[in-house]
Amino acid sequence: MKKGVFYLLVTSFLFSSQQALGKVLYYLSTFERTFYFSLVAAIIMGLLCKWKKQPLIAGSLKLIGMRSLFGYISTVLLFLAATQTYPVANISLLSSTSTIFALLAAVIWLKEHMARGQVLSVFIAFAGIVLILRPAGGFIEAESLAGLGAGFFAGLAYTVVRKLKDESPFTITFCFMSFSVIASLPFVLMQGFSPLGLKEIAVLILTGVVCAAAQYFLSVAYSYAPSTKISVYLYSQNLFAFILGILFFHELPDWLSIAGGCLLIGAGILNFISGREAQRRLSHDI
């Protein structure tokens, strides 16, 4: 289990690094950033599929299409949130709402029941969201809405992944990245390609490599321990994002954002513990 936790912490650092790298090239269009990094990640995941002897195409095209679409929208919204002035920590925190939205989607779509602690976690999470969004005079920053939307669609994507439990995670990620390349290309062609220097090329390639590495180490982590025991450690990406924001962008979130972040992380941990206890009671009853 210790190895599983270690690799999940590595994954969390890579996820937060991906969000920070997306902010570095804020001046490139959202679809260009999505196209280039997805292209690099798709190539790497394709090679990993060949190495692991996994198919490139998943069995359920409908479900893989839904997962890819929701994941693509989430990625685009994350890049929209990654502007020059919006803190990386806030982007990470709002994208972490995916676990709460995944819980709600599972109740509505998969007809699952929520434990009492999970119901409480939803209310705590939305209190945290309000503190981070801080609507003033009915106005909410576009970046905040984009970050929250990214969490919402990521939650839907993760719910679909649960229906794809028999598919290889490498195959799922390859299809997702390939879909992102194809979906972004028309927008890039309409907008026109921006001239890229060595800095832009290096950052875009690094973003794709980091994304592919995060998906790989996530699979490695879950090969050592089930997600029900270690997935809570993914919340460490918020701490990494906070540190990266300070080190590279000189960002220091205000106290309301920090308080909201603590509520969100607390809600996620409560959701994790309550869900695990509910599963344990169900297995005992059976």
pLDDT reported for residue 163: 87
Q: What is the pLDDT of residue 51?
A: 94
Radius of gyration of the chain (CA): 18
Span 41-52, average pLDDT: 95
What's the pLDDT at 284?
A: 59
* pLDDT at position 136 over 70: no
Give the tens place of pLDDT for each residue, 74-121.
999 999 999 988 999 999 999 999 989 998 998 898 888 888 899 999
Least confident of 18-27, 131-140, 213-222: 131-140
Kindly list the distances between the CA atom of residue 176 and the CA atoms of 20, 67, 107, 166, 260, in Å, as whole numbers in the listed order.
Answer: 21, 7, 24, 16, 31
> What is the reported pTM?
0.91
Across the strands, what pairs with 136?
Answer: 139
Sign of CA dihedral 228, 229, 232, 237: negative
